[in-house]
Amino acid sequence: MGMDERKYRILQAIIDDYILTAEPVGSRTISRKYDMGLSSATIRNEMSDLEELGYLDQPHVSAGRIPSAKAYRLYVDQLLESGRIQAADEPSVRAYFEGRARQMEDVIDHAAQVISNMTDYLAVVLPPSGRQPRVRTIQLVPVGPGSALVVVVTDSGIIRDTVIPYPGQLDNDSLYDISRRLTDEIAGHSLQEAGTIISGMIGRIHENESFLSSLGTFFQDRTDPKARRHVAVGGTSKMLTYPEYADRDRIRSLLSLVETRDRLASIIAQNGNVQFTVRIGPENGIPEMADSSIVTAVYSTRAGEQGTIGVIGPTRMRYSRVLSVLTAMGQQLSELFGAGDVLETPEAAEKTHEKE
């Protein structure tokens, strides 16, 4: 007994129906709604086979069948192989970004909103990271007595800033001078290297030792992989519409996952270099998420950094829809972060220029 064409069509119909209704689907439903040209009895036989093959589960004897994780896996694999994933929604994704979003964090927040609006699932967007960005400029800006704002511009265009103390006797001009000298030293190096270089300067330059040491630790902090990153989330409340999250404990664990951004980020973060990751139910390895699926995709920046966008939803997810939305959004974000300046959409830049 193998998996022939007809079995697959029936399985597909069952999956489609279950994704739609979230209710166990019976043989009668299939033969009626998805006119297969087969009677319910025949379907029943096939379903029995499919169950034996591990593609269907039966909650109890007198209920219909439910697709197993294995069935979804087959379904998704076929989907991915067939190349039927089209960024069909690209125009509408693009429309969402028309003349909007300036700062990186705004873009990311907005992207999460858009994804969740288009899919009706929980959307997560991680900022670009991974590759060690290289320093382009460092600039110190006086903030108050005894403290300066450090602005580091990297080749990925991302600005990291923190206030550090500095000896009060420095005025604006000397700060600028210092900034220039520092830039000369560390430009082109990674943040980590920059930290080492600056720490190394402490011996050589005897003035402002404490200041240099603060600056050194600043770079070290920024290199820390545990450093909190902004994680954008959208559509949490959408999850409440799905019956699989009717259980309070389940909502609870989902909510607290969303609340602890670190954990959420580590779950969504992609490891490999693949375009998509689809983890169905138990595959995701998170006990309390055994009947949730996680789909992620990658986007990249001009500087070669990678970011991840992801969707979390019930196992009976509209995978096809999700994959196509993620594709479109991945393209859009890559474009946004790759084409023009990282911190500005092409549109926004254009709009500003029109005023000339």
Task: Give the CA diameter of the chain.
Answer: 90
Residue of the chain from 18, 29, 97, 126 that contacts DNA (CB under 7 A): 29
How many angstroms from the chain centroid is the CA of residue 212? 36
Q: To which residue do tokens 């000298």 refer? A: 181
CB of 65 to DNA, least distance (A): 5
Q: How far is it, in rounded angstroms, from Cα 285 to Cα 282?
A: 6
Contact in structure between 253 and 245 (CB atoms under 8 Å): no
CB of 284 to its own copies, least distance (A): 20
- Determine, following the binding rule CB under 7 A, whether residue 63 of this chain makes contact with DNA: yes
Q: Report CA dihedral (23, 29, 35, 41) to the nearest 10 degrees.
A: 130
- Determine, following the binding rule CB under 7 A, whether residue 1 of this chain makes contact with DNA: no
Q: How far is it, in rounded angstroms, from Cα 144 to Cα 80?
A: 56
Q: How far is it, in rounded angstroms, from Cα 253 to Cα 250?
A: 5
- Range 246-275, binding its own copies (CB under 8 A): 246, 248, 251-252, 255-256, 258-259
176, two tokens: 């600028």
Number of chain positions touching DNA (CB under 7 A) = 26
Contact in structure between 311 and 326 (CB atoms under 8 Å): yes
CB of 57 to DNA, least distance (A): 11
- Determine, following the binding rule CB under 7 A, whether residue 2 of this chain makes contact with DNA: no
* CB-based contacts of 50-58 (< 8 A; 24+ apart in sequence): 50/7, 50/10, 50/11, 50/14, 52/1, 53/1, 53/3, 55/11, 56/11, 56/14, 58/24
- Range 168-197, binding its own copies (CB under 8 A): 172, 176, 180
CB of 288 to DNA, least distance (A): 22
- Determine, following the binding rule CB under 8 A, whether residue 308 of this chain makes contact with its own copies: no
- Range 37-56, binding DNA (CB under 7 A): 37-42, 44-45, 47-48, 51
- Determine, following the binding rule CB under 7 A, whether residue 3 of this chain makes contact with DNA: no
- Determine, following the binding rule CB under 8 A, whether residue 159 of this chain makes contact with its own copies: yes
Residue of the chain from 80, 151, 197, 286 that contacts its own copies (CB under 8 A): 151
Residues at the interface with its own copies (CB under 8 A): 102-103, 106, 136-137, 139, 141-144, 146-147, 149, 151, 153, 157, 159, 161-165, 172, 176, 180, 209-210, 213-214, 217, 228, 234-237, 240, 246, 248, 251-252, 255-256, 258-259, 341-344, 349, 352-353, 355-356
